[in-house]
Structure 1
């Protein structure tokens, strides 16, 4: 099943009983990048009462009510991300308290609506898992393999020259098996694959 992320950051603002809720949906690579974005949001809104958030990024999920009653902010925000089948996205809501208490149910609705508004009609792009493939080839095969790389639009991350030429190539995970077969064909079986690096997103 495809996984989707956002092509760019989105935001929306709601006013609910004198409180301002500003929802942000920001594409991020991982938890570290999400924490950097949260720091930036807090710097941009030093007077905000709360900055509540939820993150879906592969296995690096998380959420925070940031001082709101437990379960009234982070979880509702996370549920909206899940509903939209998004990954690699930080959703945050900046709240400026307006003096009127909303109660637990009102808070859940407010945080849900703030993120849902930011994501309304949001464009989505498929998030493709990438992996690195290492291949060892003879010097005589290098030009042929480099031409094939250009045709496939794969990224050559680095190359080392010793007894053989060792190339590290970045490509979608789904292309790995086909790439190994193609490289064996191109080199008449001489290509060797010492150890495939782990999958990344």
Structure 2
């Protein structure tokens, strides 16, 4: 069962922490698929060519079965990518790649120190990025007469229905987005507003950002 919503980044962000002269810079980006996530890693590897490690973790797609990957990029196994991924999981965010670029400061941190540093860097990045909710919306096209279009659109917006687009032709087509469980309510509302003259046809589904 796919949930009707999940959280993702509100904005791209960077945050840096320092531990015993080692610098850990976390870069967070929203991505739609695995190639895009890997492209972010490679771009940062080229940009920060002087850094020793570019460890990464990403979570893609809605729950309950998102795609998850992580890489220690030369750090001891389990000390970088895994704790980074755990922070993303713990904050329940998806469609996000985290890359922590490390410049070695000359002091070995040990396995526990690395786990804390990489996790803390991602936590700092998430604090800078903030989150927003993505919700599944069913798109429906409502066909109404020109004389009624303005009133119907205003009433829909007033009652919390997202109007995603308006197209003018022989009639006016309003594209609206509703949560799947709200579709029956929309049909009843249209019948009320147009005395049964307007109906809505299904135009698919998409994920939308909800502040």
TM-score w.r.t. the length of structure 2 is 0.70
Question: Judging changes above 3 Å, is the alpha-carbon distance between structure 1 residues 159 and 35 closer, same or farther for their aligned structure 2 residues?
Answer: farther
Structure 1 pair 137–155 and aligned structure 2 pair: CA distance change class (3 A) = closer
Cα deviation per residue 1:29-67 (whole Å; 9 max; x = unaligned)? 523664554455334322222222222343353333134
Aligned length: 198
Q: Distance in 2 between matches of 1:143 and 1:181?
A: 19
Cα distance in 2 for partners of 1:12, 1:114 equals 7
Q: Residues 42-57 of structure 1: matches in 2 within 5 Å?
A: 42-57=45-60
Provide the residue aligned with 2:167 in structure 1: 159
Residues 121-166 of structure 1 show CA distances to partners (whole Å, capped at 9, x for unaligned) of: x68444031424222424254333233345347243352636x544
* CA-based RMSD: 3.4
Q: How far apart, CA to CA, are the structure 2 residues paired with 1:150 and 1:52?
A: 45
From 177, 180, 186, the equivalent of 1:179 is: 186
CA distance in 1: counterparts of 2:49 and 2:140, whole angstroms: 47
| Match status 1:86 vs 2:89 | no
- What is aligned with 2:16? 13
- The alpha-carbon distance between structure 1 residues 104 and 177, as it changes in their structure 2 partners (threshold 3 A), is farther
Tell me the secondary structure at the aligned position of residue 129 of structure 1.
strand
Q: Which one has a larger percent strand, Structure 1 or Structure 2?
A: 2
Greater CA drift, 87-96 or 55-64: 55-64
Deviation at 1:189, TM superposition (A): 2.3
- Unmatched tracts of structure 2, length 5 or more: none
> Is the 2:22–2:103 Cα contact (8 Å) retained in structure 1?
yes
Unmatched segments (≥5 aa) in structure 1: none
